[in-house]
Amino acid sequence: MEVRTKAAEKSILVVDDDRKTVELIRLYLNNEGYQVVGALDGATALQLAREMDPDLIVLDLMLPKMDGLDICQTLRNESDVPMIMVTARTTEEDRLTGLELGADDYITKPFSPRELVARVKAVLRRAGGRFEPAPVQVVGKLVINYDRYEVAVAGEPIRLTPREFNLLAALASHPGRVYSRQELLEQAFGMDFEGLDRTVDVHMMNLRKKIEQDPSNPSYILTIYGVGYKLADDGYGP
């Protein structure tokens, strides 16, 4: 299957209950060559997401029929499609809730359409992969296939979001090396990402839930208190 790389071949689902907002975002994304489909409520958004399999979803939190957090949680159980949360809530806890459920980025209202376009480009770029190591890497029972963008543990495939995969790939680029949270933000999410250190902690928590047999006593992703994180050299912990 040919990999789609051009903006004109990327489809984006924009979900907001305000029609004018959807049309404004559509205008700016269309001007960049993206194909845009809009939805005004949560139920329609979920149906369209399943039918069209978009390359990215711009998702408002406050929606009729089904809110954005429920949509994000539902889709994360079915898909690794990148998602940008749009919210009028500005507290750190609100933003982290979206990230905990699997959102790849967030932007708060009111926002500049040009900023949203920049974030769309950045998330799609990261989702396409930022690392070029050997095609397959094995650490203990953990297998990372970079060509296929796939991860397996003990032969069982693990579904990761683009950010989770990039975070794991950053750690796996030098097993045993300790990375600070800021280094992980830059290497896994990009220099243009303006995130919090706790953002890394949230993604690490989600990643551990997926790849560790016992997330409370991890074998692969180890915390070095006061410093950051590392991937165990052999995948069997300290």
Residue 96 within any structural domain of the chain: yes
pTM of the predicted model over 0.75: no
Look at residues 127, 147, 180 and tell me which one is the last residue of a structural domain: 127
If asked whether residues 116 and 164 sit together in one domain, one would say: no
Domain with residue 92: its CATH number is: 3.40.50.2300
Do the Cβ atoms of 181 and 200 come closer than 8 Å?
yes
If asked whether residues 50 and 122 sit together in one domain, one would say: yes
End-to-end CA distance of the chain: 41
What average pLDDT does the segment 109-127 reach? 86
Domain with residue 199: its CATH number is: 1.10.10.10
pLDDT tens string 193-213: 555 667 888 889 999 999 999
Rounded-to-integer distance, Cα 79 and Cα 158, Å = 12
Cβ contacts of 219-228, under 8 Å, gap ≥ 24: 219/140, 220/139, 220/140, 220/142, 221/168, 221/171, 224/178, 227/178, 227/180, 228/178, 228/179, 228/180, 228/181, 228/183, 228/184
* Runs of H (alpha helix) within the chain: 19-31, 42-52, 68-76, 92-100, 113-127, 162-172, 181-184, 197-211
If asked whether residues 74 and 148 sit together in one domain, one would say: no
If asked whether residues 108 and 215 sit together in one domain, one would say: no
Q: What is the 3-state secondary structure (H, E, C) of 74-94?
A: HHHCCCCCCEEEEECCCCHHH
Do the Cβ atoms of 88 and 111 come closer than 8 Å?
no
The boundaries of the domain holding residue 86 are: 7-127
pLDDT tens string 10-49: 899 999 999 999 999 999 999 888 999 999 999 999 999 9
If asked whether residues 115 and 148 sit together in one domain, one would say: no
pLDDT tens string 122-140: 888 877 644 444 578 888 8
